[in-house]
Protein backbone atom coordinates (compact mmCIF):
# COMPACT_ATOMS: atom_id res chain seq x y z
CA UNK A 1 0.00 0.00 0.00
CA UNK A 2 2.79 2.43 0.89
CA UNK A 3 4.55 1.61 -2.39
CA UNK A 4 1.39 2.51 -4.33
CA UNK A 5 1.01 5.81 -2.47
CA UNK A 6 4.69 6.57 -3.12
CA UNK A 7 4.33 5.89 -6.86
CA UNK A 8 1.19 8.03 -7.11
CA UNK A 9 2.89 10.89 -5.21
CA UNK A 10 5.91 10.69 -7.49
CA UNK A 11 3.76 10.63 -10.63
CA UNK A 12 1.72 13.63 -9.45
CA UNK A 13 4.88 15.55 -8.56
CA UNK A 14 6.45 14.83 -11.95
CA UNK A 15 3.38 15.71 -14.00
CA UNK A 16 2.57 18.72 -11.82
CA UNK A 17 6.16 19.92 -11.97
CA UNK A 18 6.22 19.73 -15.75
CA UNK A 19 3.01 21.76 -15.89
CA UNK A 20 4.41 24.38 -13.51
CA UNK A 21 7.64 25.02 -15.45
CA UNK A 22 6.09 26.98 -18.37
CA UNK A 23 4.11 28.98 -15.82
CA UNK A 24 7.37 30.28 -14.38
CA UNK A 25 6.84 28.37 -11.15
CA UNK A 26 9.35 26.04 -9.44
CA UNK A 27 8.34 22.85 -11.23
CA UNK A 28 11.80 21.29 -11.10
CA UNK A 29 11.80 21.66 -7.33
CA UNK A 30 8.34 20.09 -7.07
CA UNK A 31 9.74 17.12 -9.00
CA UNK A 32 12.80 16.91 -6.73
CA UNK A 33 10.44 16.99 -3.74
CA UNK A 34 8.40 14.17 -5.29
CA UNK A 35 11.49 12.01 -5.67
CA UNK A 36 12.53 12.73 -2.08
CA UNK A 37 9.00 11.90 -0.89
CA UNK A 38 9.05 8.65 -2.87
CA UNK A 39 12.39 7.78 -1.29
CA UNK A 40 11.14 8.56 2.19
CA UNK A 41 7.91 6.57 1.75
CA UNK A 42 9.85 3.54 0.49
CA UNK A 43 12.62 3.69 3.08
CA UNK A 44 15.11 5.00 0.51
CA UNK A 45 15.47 1.48 -0.92
CA UNK A 46 15.88 2.71 -4.49
CA UNK A 47 16.50 6.43 -3.97
CA UNK A 48 20.00 6.92 -2.67
CA UNK A 49 22.58 9.66 -2.44
CA UNK A 50 23.41 9.35 -6.17
CA UNK A 51 19.77 9.78 -7.23
CA UNK A 52 19.27 12.71 -4.88
CA UNK A 53 22.52 14.30 -6.05
CA UNK A 54 21.57 13.92 -9.72
CA UNK A 55 18.11 15.49 -9.39
CA UNK A 56 19.40 18.31 -7.18
CA UNK A 57 22.19 19.04 -9.67
CA UNK A 58 19.74 19.05 -12.60
CA UNK A 59 17.39 21.45 -10.78
CA UNK A 60 20.25 23.81 -9.89
CA UNK A 61 21.55 23.71 -13.46
CA UNK A 62 18.05 24.59 -14.69
CA UNK A 63 17.86 27.63 -12.42
CA UNK A 64 21.33 28.85 -13.36
CA UNK A 65 20.73 28.39 -17.08
CA UNK A 66 17.38 30.14 -16.87
CA UNK A 67 19.05 33.26 -15.53
CA UNK A 68 21.98 33.00 -17.92
CA UNK A 69 19.86 32.54 -21.06
CA UNK A 70 17.84 35.71 -20.48
CA UNK A 71 21.07 37.59 -19.98
CA UNK A 72 22.74 35.99 -23.00
CA UNK A 73 19.87 36.55 -25.44
CA UNK A 74 19.39 40.18 -24.40
CA UNK A 75 23.08 40.79 -25.15
CA UNK A 76 22.97 38.71 -28.36
CA UNK A 77 20.23 40.97 -29.68
CA UNK A 78 22.33 44.09 -29.23
CA UNK A 79 21.85 44.95 -25.60
CA UNK A 80 24.49 45.64 -22.99
CA UNK A 81 24.96 43.67 -19.81
CA UNK A 82 22.66 46.26 -18.29
CA UNK A 83 19.81 44.91 -20.45
CA UNK A 84 20.62 41.43 -19.17
CA UNK A 85 20.13 42.59 -15.61
CA UNK A 86 16.92 44.32 -16.68
CA UNK A 87 15.65 41.07 -18.20
CA UNK A 88 16.37 39.21 -14.96
CA UNK A 89 14.83 41.80 -12.65
CA UNK A 90 11.89 42.49 -14.98
CA UNK A 91 11.13 38.80 -15.43
CA UNK A 92 11.00 38.18 -11.69
CA UNK A 93 8.93 41.31 -11.04
CA UNK A 94 6.55 40.49 -13.90
CA UNK A 95 6.02 36.95 -12.67
CA UNK A 96 5.20 38.25 -9.18
CA UNK A 97 2.86 40.94 -10.49
CA UNK A 98 1.09 38.41 -12.75
CA UNK A 99 0.37 35.92 -9.96
CA UNK A 100 -3.18 37.21 -9.19
CA UNK A 101 -4.30 36.27 -12.70
CA UNK A 102 -4.94 32.52 -12.48
CA UNK A 103 -2.82 30.06 -14.48
CA UNK A 104 -1.28 32.30 -17.14
CA UNK A 105 -0.71 35.53 -15.22
CA UNK A 106 2.79 34.70 -14.04
CA UNK A 107 3.80 33.48 -17.51
CA UNK A 108 2.58 36.60 -19.28
CA UNK A 109 3.99 38.75 -16.50
CA UNK A 110 7.41 37.09 -16.72
CA UNK A 111 7.60 37.52 -20.50
CA UNK A 112 6.36 41.11 -20.43
CA UNK A 113 8.58 41.89 -17.45
CA UNK A 114 11.65 40.45 -19.18
CA UNK A 115 10.93 42.54 -22.26
CA UNK A 116 10.21 45.72 -20.31
CA UNK A 117 13.15 45.30 -17.94
CA UNK A 118 15.67 44.65 -20.71
CA UNK A 119 14.30 47.44 -22.88
CA UNK A 120 14.15 50.02 -20.08
CA UNK A 121 17.59 49.18 -18.69
CA UNK A 122 19.06 49.29 -22.19
CA UNK A 123 17.26 52.52 -23.06
CA UNK A 124 18.72 54.13 -19.94
CA UNK A 125 22.21 53.13 -21.13
CA UNK A 126 22.14 53.52 -24.91
CA UNK A 127 19.33 56.08 -25.37
CA UNK A 128 18.44 54.27 -28.62
CA UNK A 129 14.89 52.96 -28.86
CA UNK A 130 15.72 50.43 -31.59
CA UNK A 131 18.52 48.86 -29.56
CA UNK A 132 16.33 48.78 -26.45
CA UNK A 133 13.45 47.06 -28.27
CA UNK A 134 15.85 44.56 -29.82
CA UNK A 135 17.36 43.76 -26.41
CA UNK A 136 13.84 43.33 -25.00
CA UNK A 137 12.93 40.93 -27.79
CA UNK A 138 16.12 38.99 -27.08
CA UNK A 139 15.14 38.74 -23.43
CA UNK A 140 11.74 37.28 -24.40
CA UNK A 141 13.43 34.72 -26.65
CA UNK A 142 15.84 33.90 -23.84
CA UNK A 143 12.97 33.29 -21.44
CA UNK A 144 11.28 30.99 -23.98
CA UNK A 145 14.53 29.07 -24.53
CA UNK A 146 14.98 28.78 -20.77
CA UNK A 147 11.46 27.36 -20.34
CA UNK A 148 12.13 24.78 -23.06
CA UNK A 149 15.44 23.84 -21.46
CA UNK A 150 13.84 23.49 -18.02
CA UNK A 151 11.11 21.27 -19.46
CA UNK A 152 13.83 19.06 -20.97
CA UNK A 153 15.59 18.91 -17.60
CA UNK A 154 12.23 18.12 -15.99
CA UNK A 155 11.78 15.19 -18.34
CA UNK A 156 15.23 13.92 -17.36
CA UNK A 157 14.32 14.25 -13.68
CA UNK A 158 11.10 12.32 -14.37
CA UNK A 159 13.12 9.54 -16.03
CA UNK A 160 15.39 9.40 -12.97
CA UNK A 161 12.23 9.02 -10.88
CA UNK A 162 10.93 6.21 -13.09
CA UNK A 163 14.29 4.44 -12.84
CA UNK A 164 14.04 4.69 -9.05
CA UNK A 165 10.57 3.15 -9.18
CA UNK A 166 11.80 0.36 -11.44
CA UNK A 167 14.71 -0.42 -9.12
CA UNK A 168 12.35 -0.45 -6.15
CA UNK A 169 9.87 -2.74 -7.92
CA UNK A 170 12.29 -5.67 -8.05
CA UNK A 171 11.97 -8.74 -5.81
CA UNK A 172 12.45 -8.01 -2.11
pLDDT (mean) for 3-27:
86
**For the chain, percent of residues with pLDDT exceeding 70:** 95
Q: Smallest Cα–Cα separation from 69: which of 121, 114, 21, 129?
A: 114
Question: Mean pLDDT, the chain, as a whole number?
Answer: 84
pLDDT at 13: 92
pLDDT at 31: 94
- What pTM was estimated for this model as a whole? 0.78
pLDDT one-digit tens code per residue, 65-122 = 887 887 788 778 887 778 888 888 888 788 788 777 776 777 788 888 888 888 888 8
Q: Is the pLDDT of residue 5 over 90?
A: no
pLDDT one-digit tens code per residue, 136-153 = 888 888 888 988 999 999
Distance CA 94, CA 116 (A): 9
Q: Is the pLDDT of residue 29 over 90?
A: yes
**Which residues lie below 8 Å from residue 29, measured CB to CB, with a gap of 6+?**
17, 59
- CA distances from residue 89 to 7, 10, 19, 38 in whole angstroms, order as listed: 38, 33, 23, 35
Amino acid sequence: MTETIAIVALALACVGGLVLIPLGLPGLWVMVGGILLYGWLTGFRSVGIATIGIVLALAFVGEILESWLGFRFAKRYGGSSRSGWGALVGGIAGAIIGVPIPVIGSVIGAFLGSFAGAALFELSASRQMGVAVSAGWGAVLGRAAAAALKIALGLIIAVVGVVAVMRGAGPS
